[in-house]
Amino acid sequence: MNQSRPTIGVTGPDKGGEVAWLFTALGVWLAGGKPVHITPSFPRTADGLQGLIVGGGADVDPETYQQDAVLQEYLKRTLQNQKMTYFQRVWRFIRWIYFPALFYLRKWLSGAPKWSLDKGRDHLEFQLIDQAVKKNLPVLGICRGSQLMNVYFRGTLHPDISEFYLEEPNPSSIFPVKKIRIKPDSKLAQIIGCKKMKVNALHHQAVQKPGKDLEIVAWEKNGVVQSIEHQTREFMLGVQWHPEFLPQRRKQRRIFQTLVQKAREVNRQIEAQDMQTALAQPKDPALVEIEQQEEAFLNRQNP
């Protein structure tokens, strides 16, 4: 019996994130999920989602973890689903080709990466994380997404991790270049199936103080945090690296597989709750009368 694909929301920026989206979508699809792209220009709520991936990209605005009022303001704003016009649908398709080409052109022409803020994404993703938490959906934070998750639970970040690399270079690559250690009894260790591995690195911020009920479960030798997870929730995992760029590695694919499996469980729970709600509703009087007539007819046929 074929299982339906749970819908997994995947967040990203309006521009420059198409390559990450395509790789993440591939990871979700291979794991049995249905990826849905969410950006500030194409927002949606968590309604209809069974899982959420908060992707990488721009720095998290420092004000969100330095001033609690800023985070509260983001969470108070209303987030609504938005229906795409015909032009927007066509443009979304075209930009799958345009932006990856632009990404590689800029990569070729530019030097060191330049970091920026994206407050539109901060608002969108804080809202989605908040809704996912309230709906008890599985959540995976990738790079910036892991940092944002930590800030949501009132943790803090290192705005710049260069101070950790005074005696060694801080590599930046989509290929595995950093060695990390994983806490043996963590959920991440159960998913990955090992205590040490190499990961890629495309960041200059990292978790400093973990948020409420979050635990640091992976780190580099110099202390830079590489993964956090929630201590009580089924699946709320943040990874500082980019597993979507390592689809050839089984250990990395397991992250998406576990997310999708948890999303399936959420979907079954929602269906069961909907069925219980439907059964608890009082029957329509006309339907009750029809059932009584049918029962009376059968009784006459079989005295």
Active site residues: 143, 242, 244
DSSP, residue by residue, 36-53: EEEBTTB---STT-SEEE
CA 87 to chain CA mean position, Å = 27
Asked if 257 and 176 count as a contact pair (C-beta separation under 8 A), the reply is: no
- Alpha carbon distance 13, 115 (integer Å): 13
Backbone angles phi, psi at 9, to 5 degrees: -75, 135
Per-residue tokens: 222: 């110099």
User: Alpha carbon of 155 to those of 70, 86, 146: distances in Å?
Assistant: 14, 41, 11
- Alpha carbon distance 220, 226 (integer Å): 7
